[in-house]
Structure 1
Amino acid sequence: MGHALPVLRDDLTEQELDEIVDKATTASAFLKAISHEGRLMILCHLVTGEKSVTELEELLSARQAAVSQQLSRLRLEGLVIPRRDGKAIYYRLADHRPRKVLECVYNLFCRDDDEEQA
């Protein structure tokens, strides 16, 4: 079971409110990072495992420069980790956060109504 959402009450201490604001700032940066269609698709492909930049270019039917730009942003946000093998660069998910969000996005936008009611 997940954690309860914070309740913004009048009696919160300044420290408690600061912690909530810090977490909201982190969450906002994360959501901005995945809000681009290309970055979201890259994360979807990486859920199945590590992929090279060339593999991602082919899967996305995108130019190397575009894929590299989106990977750079995902790397900057700490969502993917690169690994060099000779001239090839491979990427994998940095942790569980993208997978959890992608599952949520799938449930919100990709499931059929019939599946939801089952």
Structure 2
Amino acid sequence: MHLSGAQDPQQRDGGDRHAAAAQVLGLLADRTRLILLERLAEGEADVGTLTEACAVARPSVSQHLARLRLAGLVTTRKEGRRVIYALPHGHVKRLVDEALRSADHRLGDLPPHD
């Protein structure tokens, strides 16, 4: 399911909106995907670079990237034979940043913040 809709937000049913948000949060609730998105928040990368970033087998990284791509959370472009992944907009970056900041607070690495 691709998450970006062409409908006006005022016309969308609240249930659809919440379902789409739950799907995004569900995709973020995986350690490997969170690491991949955190790395992509720094800039574009290919599968090899992303595999190194999360220290997971390349086929697993490819499967995670496919799920993120199908959901519209990452985009791809070809550079020769390589596929380059990127975040399409800042919303995902902000979600990842906030999730990691929340984890830092939980672990006691940062003082509480409003």
**TM-score normalised per structure 1:** 0.77
Residue 109 of structure 1 corresponds to 103
Could you list the runs of 4 or more consecutive aligned residues of structure 1 that deviate by over 2 angstroms after TM superposition?
Answer: 111-117
One-letter code aligned to 1:116: P
CA distance in 2, matches of 1:71, 1:113: 29
Matches within 5 A, 1:33-48: 33-48=27-42
Instruction: Identify the structure with bigger relative contact order (alpha carbons < 8 Å, sequence gap 6+).
Output: 2
Matches within 5 A, 1:2-41: 19-41=13-35
**TM-score normalised per structure 2:** 0.79
Residue 93 of structure 2 corresponds to 99
SS of match in other structure, 1:116: coil
Deviation at 1:116, TM superposition (A): 2.4
Structure 1 runs not aligned, ≥5 long: 1-15
When the two chains are superposed, the root-mean-square deviation of aligned CA atoms in Å is: 1.8
1:12-45 CA deviation, whole Å, 9 max, x = no partner? Answer: xxxx8x7211110110111111111111110000
Structure 2 runs not aligned, ≥5 long: 1-9
Larger-gyration structure (1/2): 1
* Count of aligned positions: 101
